[in-house]
A and B are shown apart, each in its own frame.
Chain A
Amino acid sequence: MAAPGGVKVKDPGKIFKRLMGIVMKRYAVSVVVVVVCIIVGVLASVQGTLFTRTLIDDYILPMVNNNSRDFRPLLGAMTRVAVFYLIGIIASYVHQRLMVEVSQGTLKNLRCELFEKMEKLPLRYFDTHPHGEIMSVYTNDIDTLRQMISQSLPQFLNSIITVVSVLISMLFLNVPLTIITLFMVGISFFASKTATGISGGFFKSQQKALGSINGYIEEMMTGQKVVKVFNHEEAAIEEFKKRNEELFHSSYNANQYSNILGPINAQIGNLSYVVCAIAGGAMAISGFSGLTLGALASFLSFNRSFSMPISQISMQINFVIMALAGGERIFALLDEEPEEDNGYVSLVNAKRNPDGTLSETDERTGLWAWKHVHSADGSIDYVELKGEITLNNVDFAYDGEHFVLHDIALNAESGQKIAFVGSTGAGKTTITNLINRFYDIQDGKIRFDGININKIKKGDLRRSLGMVLQDTSLFTGTIMENIRFGRLDATDEEVIKAAKLVSADSFIRHLPEGYNTVITGNGASLSQGQRQLLSIARAAVADPPALILDEATSSIDTRTEKIIQAGMDSLMKGRTSFVIAHRLSTVRNADCIMVLENGRITERGNHEALIKEKGKYYQLYTGLKAAN
């Protein structure tokens, strides 16, 4: 099965069934009512058409022939027709009203399901799928489904029922004329298939041209300021026009041939009408196969209402195929394996009892404990959260094949500051991503306070680690909301306190609306340094037991960094911290510095020890001196 755009769906039947399953799960009753309503609606309109014949043959002609002026029988018949019409109107309204909820409701559920699933997917998924592609599932693919569920499918059903009932009525009226009609339908099918084929080729090249021009637009718009700085505008326009011209040609041709479908179907329909009229007229005159004038009149209106649904079906087929292709992508996302979480140890607020043991509490005590429920006897252990993190023989490969970390071992004692240094790609960020289980290790063990992190619920593990990431993603909303992202129940005062701690307060106050300034588009209006300050404040307000700072201050100038250093130090005080930085000033006072090279720890120790060791760290340090 292939649509004109060259869209291919692997197993359209299966996808269709699954889609219908989703629709039926929630809206089974509505769908049944809709189907009944469609049938009733079609029958009502068919009986109306049939009435033309009754009107002429059974009422008007007898009255004309008998010279009667008694309209009472006709009034009775018309009342009946009117009632049927009324039922038809009500049925079609009910059908449409229900479909609004069925289609919009299904789309809403699909959107929510998609989002829910997406939030559960492992990072690996986002690493391996272009973001534009993921976005397109929510926009393009859902949109094609809307078209299909709310319009194509009911119209399909309507058309099929109409075709069948009209066909039956036609056969009932006159068989030879029905055969002529079917023959003409065959011709029109053939003609539209040819036109679809031609336009299909152009649609394909249109998609290609569209893709090429979209790519070019995106690249140029992203680099627009560079274009301006280099006076490159004219060259860009020239290249753009070239691609645009290609798009124009294929788009014009594709549309031209698909536009032709309508007139072809309509005029062949008219021809069919003419042919039937001539043949029927001849038959009525000669009395062949007992065709009456009234029957011919009815037949001709059936003939007209026959070609309409047929051409509708041929037009809807394209939409359905495109929607199924969209459905395929939606289901592909829904079928992704979610992030696994078999953890059962959870993080709780704790208080110390007089006897030294720990017990759980709802208050925020600043004392945390790992709650360990033993599955064997249901007994509960509380282990105090100290922030001791150890890695043993850890190996890791993103793809399971090419290892980027080898045999990593380290031991961070409670409250220590551990720094990672090394070149881009040495594996610094990767190690921190393993500690919070963004990725799972292939070999070795990572323990948090002696507990294997695989046993800890992912959410609780991550809650215990405040992270300031290399990418400072902010969300649409106020500055206040963005900092509060770190801890949702933080009061305004706590948010401002955190901002002050990391020296973000002063720049925030200079913004037009202060803390209520709305940032959009990932905070594009803020400088990179300001975004990093917000991102640190966000981690600070979370008040986590341990911290991971990945190039947290790389875009903040050294003087500001020095000013916030006090805040950072007090933030890190008493918390186990992992720090990645390319500024030696940031890592110098670490309890232990790990030098990473090609996925291995090659040197470790504090600043003084490493300087004495005269290895890579020493080289870097003295190399800098030389450069200065």
Chain B
Amino acid sequence: MERSYEKYTPVEVITTLGAEVKEFWFPSVMTPVSMILEVVMEMIIPFLMASIIDKGVTPGNMAHIRHTGIIMIIVAVMGLLFGVMGAHFGAKASAGLARNLRNTMFEKIQAFSFPNLDKYSTAGLVTRLTTDVTNIQNAYQMILRMFMRAPSSIVIAMVMAFSINARLSMIYLVAVIFLAIFIFFLMGRVTDYFAEVFLRYDDLNESVQENVSGIRVVKAFVREEHEKSKFFEAAGNIYRMFVRAEKMIILNMPVMQFTVYTCILLLSWFGAHFIVYGDLTTGELMSLLTYCMNILMSLMMLSMIFVMVSMSAASARRITEVIKETPVIREPENPVYEVKDGSVTFENVSFSYYGKEKDYILSDVNLSIGDGETIGIIGGTGSSKTSLINLISRLYDVTEGSVKVGGVDVRSYDIKTLRKSVAHVLQKNELFSGTILENLRWGNELATEEECAEACRIACAAEFIEKFHDGYETHIEQGGTNLSGGQKQRLCIARAILGKPKILILDDSTSAVDTATDATIRQGFRESLPGMTKFIIAQRISSVMDADRIVVLDEGRISGVGTHEELMENNEIYRDVYESQQSGAGLSDFDD
């Protein structure tokens, strides 16, 4: 899935990134200006040098040498000053761009809806926010500082050279045009090669990643050799592609050297003639040779920039993908800011993750749930239980039909208002690094400690939290790794009910909690949160059998709705599930 994004044109990519740098327009302008001024200073020096030799050294005029020398020192100091300015502004503009890119992307991702998030892998998003931004930062700094500097250095050197001797300087003109054409074609090829290299590079890293996390499986099936040969092949491919790309790049150097050496030789040869015929001084010839070196250096710099920019082009494209991604689920124009009650109605609901044409995984669901009802949902693996309840808080939008909460289509609500009223305990839940209290307050920032403790009591989390040395101040590691599965689930439930929602959705949220505790939690719900509409998805019949009504889903369709007794009577699937659990005395784990 990760690679099927929209393709953006270079212009779109540049405008997207350009918008982020607007704030730093001043340093962005000042950097090349400073760099150009630095170059001007640098270029004046050989000119002054020629003057020292011709007007000072040759006629033996020490006063001229001293005078010009002082000017040269002033010029060098000014060069330093402009250099420092360039360093300052360049760093500021590029670090600023990086900051803005990160902020914008992060904000954008926060605005993503679930379908958007499904499109990107977590690792892909992390890379975009870190490595890719750093690449852009470096490339931007390089562009600001060098991209103007190198060509202006070439131009100034040429102007200087022409002002010394226009006829001789024609040599440069020819050389520069020749090199520019060469670099243009070479870099075009190299850019393509590198784009491919980086794609393969991702594959290689993926292979390592999979082997690190799946090492047990590799070892259990004794597939070390198999994986090794796969990796060696991938590494070999990378090697071949890098060699191919670099073989092109290194052509740069000999061609460059050839051109410059030719220039030097031609300059020397014709320069000698000019001097002998009195059209040129030796000092001027030396200056011309110096400019020749300057032009060479700038050209090399320029080709290096091209390589860097082409390498960061991939990063720029990846960043643009995130910034230009439009959230699939959008706020309505005149949103409703109040959820009246916790009733939920599904009207002719059909849903597919892939849009209309593809297979529906929910078809034609009609269901009406009253305020305060407790609904159990049961069904096999892949029967779309989660997909059904994800529609209530608009984590996904229906493909056809409508879902109403409190009598109003969910698509008419202000999304925040809706999600505040519908608390959702996800199947794949996460806790964040921080104290237990901080984690609980995700559900309600303003909750007092007493309210938190009360929520934990209902969710049967209080009993283990209070056993911890630091109680509610206990620090939770990233991903909640220092808690057991059952403990995590109970904390997640507590976090959800803390917001006093009108509707509570538990998506297989007690699977790691033992049956007795599970029953206690449900009893707590009944006693302490009577008015709340509750949806309980579970694999255990015991978790749903005391619900007001139970919905049995089968392959995306409702197979039956009713109480435990009714379903036992007239729903074969339900009876099957019930019996499958009875014969083995149900389920439990042995936690706690």
Is the Cβ of A119 less than 8 Å from the Cβ of B228? yes
**Those of A271-308 within 8 Å (CB) of chain B:** 271, 273-274, 277-278, 281-282, 284-285, 293-294, 296-297, 300-301, 304
Q: Looking at the assembled complex, report how far the CB atom of A393 sits from the nearest CB atom of chain B, in whole angstroms.
A: 25
Interface residue? B275 (CB, 8 A): yes
Is the Cβ of B243 less than 8 Å from the Cβ of A52? no
Is the Cβ of B516 less than 8 Å from the Cβ of A217? no
What residues on A are CB-neighbors of B305 within 8 Å? Answer: none
B67-88 Cβ-contact flags toward A at 8 Å (1 or 0) = 0010011001101101110111
Q: Looking at the assembled complex, report how far the CB atom of A487 sits from the nearest CB atom of chain B, in whole angstroms.
A: 9
Given contacts A438-B220, A525-B1, 7 further A-B contacts (CB under 8 A): A93-B253, A271-B73, A274-B69, A281-B56, A476-B210, A560-B381, A624-B587
Interface residue? B273 (CB, 8 A): yes
Given contacts A252-B96, A462-B220, A584-B586, contact A297 B53 (CB under 8 A): yes
Q: Which 3 A-B pairs have the closest CB atoms?
A: A585-B584, A263-B83, A473-B214
Is the Cβ of A296 less than 8 Å from the Cβ of B57? yes
Is the Cβ of A297 less than 8 Å from the Cβ of B443? no
Interface residue? B107 (CB, 8 A): yes
Given contacts A135-B212, A426-B590, A462-B222, contact A293 B253 (CB under 8 A): no
- Would you list 14 pairs from A and B whose C-beta atoms are within 8 A, ordered by A residue? A52-B268, A60-B282, A64-B276, A115-B228, A214-B130, A221-B129, A226-B430, A254-B91, A255-B90, A257-B87, A263-B79, A267-B79, A421-B590, A522-B214
- If over half of A's interface residues share one DSSP class (helix, strand or loop), that class is named, otherwise mixed; here it is helix
B1-14 Cβ-contact flags toward A at 8 Å (1 or 0) = 11000000000000
Given contacts A108-B239, A229-B426, A259-B87, contact A126 B212 (CB under 8 A): yes
B224 interface neighbour in A120, A294, A556, Cβ under 8 Å:
A120
Is the Cβ of B86 less than 8 Å from the Cβ of A270? no
What residues on B are CB-neighbors of A1 within 8 Å? Answer: none
B226-239 Cβ-contact flags toward A at 8 Å (1 or 0) = 11100110011011
Interface residue? B257 (CB, 8 A): yes
Partner-contacting stretch, out of A239-247, A366-374, A376-384, A491-499: A239-247
Interface residue? A342 (CB, 8 A): no
A224–B83 alpha-carbon span in the complex (Å): 44
A449-485 Cβ-contact flags toward B at 8 Å (1 or 0) = 0000000001110110101010101111000000001
Given contacts A108-B239, A231-B419, A627-B542, contact A237 B106 (CB under 8 A): yes
Is the Cβ of A530 less than 8 Å from the Cβ of B382? yes
Is the Cβ of A244 less than 8 Å from the Cβ of B103? yes
Given contacts A231-B416, A236-B110, contact A588 B250 (CB under 8 A): no
B382 interface neighbour in A214, A224, A529, A627, Cβ under 8 Å:
A529
Is the Cβ of A624 less than 8 Å from the Cβ of B580? no
Is the Cβ of B580 less than 8 Å from the Cβ of A251? no
A173–B114 alpha-carbon span in the complex (Å): 74
B57 interface neighbour in A93, A293, A465, A476, Cβ under 8 Å:
A293
What residues on A are CB-neighbors of B545 within 8 Å? Answer: 628
Interface size on B, residues (CB 8 A): 162
Q: Looking at the assembled complex, report how far the CB atom of A552 sits from the nearest CB atom of chain B, in whole angstroms.
A: 13
Is the Cβ of B282 less than 8 Å from the Cβ of A56? yes
Is the Cβ of B213 less than 8 Å from the Cβ of A559? no
B98-122 Cβ-contact flags toward A at 8 Å (1 or 0) = 1100110011011111100100011
What residues on A are CB-neighbors of B573 within 8 Å? Answer: 559
A417-459 Cβ-contact flags toward B at 8 Å (1 or 0) = 0000111111000000000101000000000000000000011
Determine the residue in chain A with the shortest Cβ distance to B206: A476
**Those of A43-86 within 8 Å (CB) of chain B:** 48, 51-52, 55-56, 59-61, 63-64, 68-69, 71, 74-75, 78, 81-82, 85
Given contacts A93-B253, A240-B106, A585-B581, contact A273 B45 (CB under 8 A): yes
What residues on B are CB-neighbors of A471 within 8 Å? Answer: 213-214, 216-217
A282–B124 alpha-carbon span in the complex (Å): 65
What residues on A are CB-neighbors of B49 within 8 Å? Answer: 273, 277, 300
B564-581 Cβ-contact flags toward A at 8 Å (1 or 0) = 000000000100110011
A256–B83 alpha-carbon span in the complex (Å): 11
What residues on B are CB-neighbors of A85 within 8 Å? Answer: 257, 261, 265
Is the Cβ of A259 less than 8 Å from the Cβ of B98? no
Is the Cβ of A510 less than 8 Å from the Cβ of B359? yes
A230–B498 alpha-carbon span in the complex (Å): 11
Partner-contacting stretch, out of A99-107, A395-403, A407-415: A99-107
B261 interface neighbour in A52, A89, A458, Cβ under 8 Å:
A89
Q: Which of A61, A245, A460, A585 has the most CB of B within 10 A?
A: A585
Interface residue? A520 (CB, 8 A): yes
What residues on B are CB-neighbors of A259 within 8 Å? Answer: 86-88, 90-91, 141, 145
Given contacts A60-B276, A108-B238, A266-B42, contact A244 B99 (CB under 8 A): yes
A582 interface neighbour in B57, B226, B495, B587, Cβ under 8 Å:
B587
Partner-contacting stretch, out of B162-170, B286-294, B526-534: B286-294
Determine the residue in chain B with the shortest Cβ distance to A583: B587
Interface residue? A621 (CB, 8 A): yes
Given contacts A126-B215, A284-B57, contact A304 B290 (CB under 8 A): yes
Determine the residue in chain B with the shortest Cβ distance to A459: B222
A312-337 Cβ-contact flags toward B at 8 Å (1 or 0) = 00000000000000000000000000
Interface residue? B181 (CB, 8 A): no
A123–B213 alpha-carbon span in the complex (Å): 11
B91 interface neighbour in A231, A255, A527, Cβ under 8 Å:
A255
Is the Cβ of B516 less than 8 Å from the Cβ of A138? no
Q: Looking at the assembled complex, report how far the CB atom of A423 sits from the nearest CB atom of chain B, in whole angstroms.
A: 4
Interface residue? A118 (CB, 8 A): yes
A198–B112 alpha-carbon span in the complex (Å): 41
**Those of B439-493 within 8 Å (CB) of chain A:** 442-443, 445, 478-479, 484-485
Q: Looking at the assembled complex, report how far the CB atom of B31 sits from the nearest CB atom of chain A, in whole angstroms.
A: 10
Is the Cβ of A557 less than 8 Å from the Cβ of B45? no
What residues on B are CB-neighbors of A69 within 8 Å? Answer: 276
A382–B527 alpha-carbon span in the complex (Å): 68
